[in-house]
Structure 1
């Protein structure tokens, strides 16, 4: 039987490690669908665009979920990634040690199209489902992120992925 891994993709946190609304909505969804026996893989290391804090973003995510009632045994190792392509690359390396697995990738609705494009190439040999959750952002903030995503998707389609 395949084990089931819930993957929460990283998002910004403050220089002090406080998680953003985007991060919390993804993590809260992960917690809501988590069932005993599943594993959680948190992503995110450091990067000027999302985390300049002392610890890797994924550690703050893991701590948040443990504070919400999960235990250390509910987690795989974290992926110390710096962007979405790096998420998939680092996740693939972690999964190579876990045998047959089914993946649920949790991100924000505005991000899910690009995640599918990237993960369907890099993690093509895995059974995956993608969950896009509401980000909790104001319309103006969301519009800027949606524009960024469309530009990133266009770049990938034009130039391909580099990893």
Structure 2
């Protein structure tokens, strides 16, 4: 008789960071991502990994952006024990890079990526290359901004994709050199 193995898929919900104000209050972009992550958690409880450290373009306070999103998610009702350590990233590529060891430490093999609808394609591109063995699900948060602001954000995404492609190519080349 053949032995049956039951492989357990461990999942995390990764909440991509967004801007906060100088007092630590979350922007509409960050709040919409958190609210979508909360809804996702209610449907499928999992470990939560918040991203975001410090940077002139999104957080100039003394506390990591991911700590603000974690606090907001706890206020929404996610228990504190559900959280993994915050990935102290500054941009999307670092989100993928710095979440990798945190997920590996918990033997997590699948992740639901939560970001804004204008950002999710870039998130998917970067994560799928930096963590190719991670089973990915994408969840887009609707951003409550005007059409003009959303158009500006979509234009920004198109403008930064060449940089992400270059980052990914350099990462893959470096990984290839390390494996020799």
**How many residue pairs end up in the alignment?**
162
Please say if residues 26 and 108 of structure 1, whose CA atoms lie closer than 8 Å, have aligned partners that are also in contact. yes
Give the match for residue 9 of structure 1. 16
Is 2:57 aligned against 1:56?
no
Q: Hey, what's the Cα distance between the residues in 2 that align with 1:57 and 1:77?
A: 12
Q: Hey, what's the Cα distance between the residues in 1 that align with 2:84 and 2:67?
A: 12
Please say if residues 16 and 54 of structure 1, whose CA atoms lie closer than 8 Å, have aligned partners that are also in contact. no
| Cα shift readout 1:65-116 (whole Å, capped 9, x = no counterpart) | 1111122101011100000000000000111211142100000010011111
Is 2:124 aligned against 1:116?
yes
Once the two structures are TM-superposed, the CA of residue 17 in structure 1 deviates from its matched residue by 0.2
The change in CA–CA distance for 1:117 and 1:37 in structure 2 (over 3 A counts) is: closer
Once the two structures are TM-superposed, the CA of residue 131 in structure 1 deviates from its matched residue by 1.2
Give the match for residue 90 of structure 1. 98
Is 2:26 aligned against 1:29?
no
The change in CA–CA distance for 1:56 and 1:114 in structure 2 (over 3 A counts) is: same
Using structure 1 for the length normalisation, give the TM-score.
Answer: 0.94
In structure 1, list runs of 5 or more residues that go unmatched: none
Please say if residues 20 and 26 of structure 2, whose CA atoms lie closer than 8 Å, have aligned partners that are also in contact. yes
| Cα shift readout 1:108-158 (whole Å, capped 9, x = no counterpart) | 01001111111110010111111122111111111111101001113434x
**Which among 134, 138, 149 is matched to residue 130 of structure 1?**
138
Q: Hey, what's the Cα distance between the residues in 2 that align with 1:30 and 1:160?
A: 27
The change in CA–CA distance for 1:37 and 1:131 in structure 2 (over 3 A counts) is: closer
Is 2:86 aligned against 1:105?
no
Give the match for residue 18 of structure 1. 25
The change in CA–CA distance for 1:140 and 1:123 in structure 2 (over 3 A counts) is: same
